[in-house]
Structure 1
């Protein structure tokens, strides 16, 4: 397969040609990743601390097989507890709603789902999915999250 034409590093003022598709030269790639990681926070800051680790391990003990592989007729061990509707920082409801918003997935299925669904979901679609889940299970949604400006759903 032919390689893409080289392009200039995306760092302002850098004219080094990049051939690997990352967009950054060797000198700026690490810096760009650090900026993203700093904005994102570490796993504990995103809610994945000790409490999550224990909940995840317990859930995977009860649900050891990948749900998506099972739907497709395959047998694969689950390694990831996926939030069906991405929590996006909603720790009061979506993050901990294990009975209705968690599913066991293998790494490949989780990566596929995250790239195709979670990252493509608009704010309005997310809010609609969250409200639909709350209605389905009879949970009152708190005003804080509902008041993010998406009240027309």
Structure 2
């Protein structure tokens, strides 16, 4: 019986690795550098309060139960279990904050797709930033 595989958790990496590992050999050291909590991701106070709220916890859990597969993978014909609920329009934007509880602004994602989406959003914000 072969060991189940999944994709390396490093954003953009598509190497298949054993299910009991998080990163491929190349990105194993990145594991220590990767943010492990939302405070390290430079969220503002109101965003942190929102993500820790009972309202969000209940909504995200029920949404993921009704949408158990990764929306991004599904678009590519891959069926993978989602592990979190993502805001399509980030709550860092005015529109995203206004629609933070609208299910039309939510999608279930696997960790790999969420990491890749977040990396793209951070890169876009840096490009728009005047500093």
Distance in 2 separating the partners of 1:41 and 1:58: 25
Distance in 2 separating the partners of 1:115 and 1:76: 20
Q: Root-mean-square deviation (CA), in Å?
A: 3.4
TM-score by length of 1: 0.48
Report the equivalent of 1:47: 50
Distance in 2 separating the partners of 1:95 and 1:115: 20
| Rg larger for | 1
Structure 1, gaps ≥5 residues long:
1-19, 22-28, 30-35, 126-153
Give runs of ≥4 in structure 1 deviating > 4 Å: 41-44, 89-92
TM-score by length of 2: 0.55
Spell out, residue by residue over 1:2-54, the C-alpha distance to the aligned partner (whole angstroms, 9 max, x if none): xxxxxxxxxxxxxxxxxx89xxxxxxx9xxxxxx64x6467973411211110
Distance in 1 separating the partners of 2:97 and 2:74: 30
Is the CA contact (8 Å cut-off) linking 1:69 and 1:109 kept in structure 2?
Answer: yes
Of 110, 118, 123, 1:120 maps to 123
Cα deviation for residue 58 of structure 1 reads: 0.6
Between 1 and 2, higher relative CO (CA 8 Å, sep ≥ 6) is seen in 2
Distance in 1 separating the partners of 2:44 and 2:87: 19
Distance in 1 separating the partners of 2:73 and 2:97: 30
Cα deviation for residue 95 of structure 1 reads: 1.3
User: What is the total number of aligned residue pairs between the two structures?
Assistant: 91
Q: Is structure 2 residue 68 aligned with structure 1 residue 64?
A: yes
Of 76, 98, 108, 1:93 maps to 98
Relative to structure 1, the CA distance from residue 70 to residue 92 in structure 2 (aligned partners, 3 Å threshold; closer, same or farther) is: closer
